Structure 1
Amino acid sequence: MLYTDSNKFFFRNSLLLAVLFLVLWFVFPVGGAIDLHFIQPWIDTNGKFPLKNNWFLVEINHKLVKHIIIGFYVIVLLVWLASFKNLKLKPYQWRFGYLFWISILSTAVVGILKSHSAHACPWSMTEPTALSYVWNFSATNGHCFPGGHASSGFSLVTGFFVFRTSKPKTAYLFLFLGLSLGFLMGWGQMMRGAHFLSHNLWTGWVVFAFNLVMYKIFYKKLS
């Protein structure tokens, strides 16, 4: 029964990811019309991003929220380590270990893709002109795609896979928090000029796809 349920879950979500891949590829090209439309409100007439050093976006959205998420994973790691000695935590050892390591690895995958990306950040792609500014899509200082900051928020969707069969309400809470925080953290970076909308949408896709593959491999351990 668990095997059948897992196969259906994997098939449905694989199909969803395939559809979203096509939507992102054809509708949300990096630096395309939609990206430029949504980032336009945050650029001044000289092609600068006035909110680049905004206190709230830097200290709260970029630092504090990320530190809170890191703190959460530190607690998960400590509980996982304690489960090797504590008999009461022993039954949950795999879940805590999986939640920590798969979450960390999902952000690492985004980091690796980003480090090899040729796409530059928006704030590095605008060039002032006599009357306004132009976009320079040939900018060579890349390493800005997908969105590394957003991946911290999106990584929480790992909890959805961990608890989907044992605690559905908890699972959907993780899914909601992961998608919401990932999008909001990414949007804040977009307002600063650090990323396009497509950067963050692709980040969510990569994190969810990685989680789905890992769940397919290890789902029996989480039953």
Structure 2
Amino acid sequence: MTAPAVPRAVPDLPALQIARRRADLRRTLLSLLAIGAWELSRLDLRVSALFATAQGFALRDQWWLSVVLHDGVRQVSLAMLVAALPLALRAARPLAVPVAADVGLWAALQALPQRLRLGWWGVTLALALLIPGLKRLSHTSCPWDLQAWGGRLAWVPHWQLGLRDGGPGHCFPSGHAVSAAAWFTLYFLLRGLHPATGRRMLIGVLLAVAVSGLVQVLRGAHFVSHVLWSAWLCWAVCVAADRALAGVDGRGAADHGPALQPLR
């Protein structure tokens, strides 16, 4: 005689969402404290000095860094944003599976409410515009403009808002880092559907932020803190958006109807 199938346990979704949001808040505050400690240490100057001389930054116009890993990565990120729009606009497709059955990630994404998918796409677009917009308002100039490294300006901390360095400005925070950091949105969208995929996406985005930031530090285009602030702002906006979008249809990404439970 065949033993009856034991239904898969379904997690307490409201409790899971609360735990995630508390963890998000802790990470946001701890990372903010870490950035503050970095700023007070003035390690920006020491790190950038490793890659510069009195004549400037030798890698400023290096082809792989300036063309491939700067211009190319930015264009790839823009192409990804454009390519994601059709999926965001596609109408939700009901899942024809039992309540306790696992479904593929692609099918689960298509089953999400259109407004939720479009909402996260909109957050990604907003981040791609917000950080460069803040950069255009900044009076902070780039490391390659400083006297110590072949420029003509004295260093002025970007957090001393009342002071100007007298240069061209428009160098804080890092606009290039947003090419990667804007995709924190994928982690927040996927973690409720497939936690393992969400974690892999988060690791991938963090690595992409590190690489894009390193490229600009090597070239003298940004200090490390410029990259850290860009990543933190993108993360903080995503944390706020996760709360806002959870109320799009009264449910969060981890709870979209009885047929769509988080995948293992």
| Class of the TM-score when normalised by the shorter of the 2 chains | 0.7 to 0.9
Q: Distance in 2 between matches of 1:73 and 1:197?
A: 26
- The answer for the alignment partner of 2:207 in structure 1 is 180
Deviates further, 88-97 or 59-68: 88-97
Q: Distance in 1 between matches of 2:67 and 2:149?
A: 28
1:1-223 to structure 2, matched below 5 A, reads 1-29=12-40, 33-46=42-55, 48-81=56-89, 83-84=90-91, 91-92=111-112, 93-126=114-147, 135-137=154-156, 138-140=164-166, 141-219=168-246, 220-222=251-253, 223=255
1:31-89 superposed Cα distances (whole Å, 9 cap, x missing partner):
x631111111221233x1121111001111111122222222221112223x1498888
Deviates further, 106-115 or 175-184: 106-115
Displacement after TM superposition at 1:127 (Å):
5.4
Displacement after TM superposition at 1:128 (Å):
6.8
Q: Distance in 2 between matches of 1:170 and 1:85?
A: 21
Letter in 2 for 1:139: D
Q: Distance in 2 between matches of 1:127 and 1:79?
A: 49
Q: How many residues align?
A: 217
Letter in 1 for 2:207: S
Letter in 1 for 2:125: I
Q: Distance in 2 between matches of 1:133 and 1:112?
A: 26
- Percentage of pairs with the same residue: 23
Contact 2:185 2:238 (8 Å CA) reproduced: yes
Q: Distance in 2 between matches of 1:166 and 1:150?
A: 27
Contact 2:147 2:153 (8 Å CA) reproduced: yes
* TM-score (structure 2 length as normaliser): 0.73
Q: Distance in 2 between matches of 1:103 and 1:117?
A: 22
Displacement after TM superposition at 1:154 (Å):
1.0
1:155-197 superposed Cα distances (whole Å, 9 cap, x missing partner):
1111110011111122122211211111211110111111000
**Closer, same or farther in 2 for the Cα pair 1:143/1:221, shift >3 Å?**
same
Q: Distance in 2 between matches of 1:193 and 1:66?
A: 18
Displacement after TM superposition at 1:111 (Å):
2.1
Contact 1:35 1:197 (8 Å CA) reproduced: yes
Secondary structure of the residue that 1:149 maps to in structure 2?
coil
Displacement after TM superposition at 1:125 (Å):
2.1
Over aligned residue pairs, what C-alpha RMSD do you find?
2.5
Bigger fraction of residues in helix: 1
- The answer for the alignment partner of 2:160 in structure 1 is none
**Closer, same or farther in 2 for the Cα pair 1:161/1:90, shift >3 Å?**
closer
Contact 1:124 1:139 (8 Å CA) reproduced: no
Contact 1:102 1:211 (8 Å CA) reproduced: yes
Q: Distance in 1 between matches of 2:92 and 2:243?
A: 29
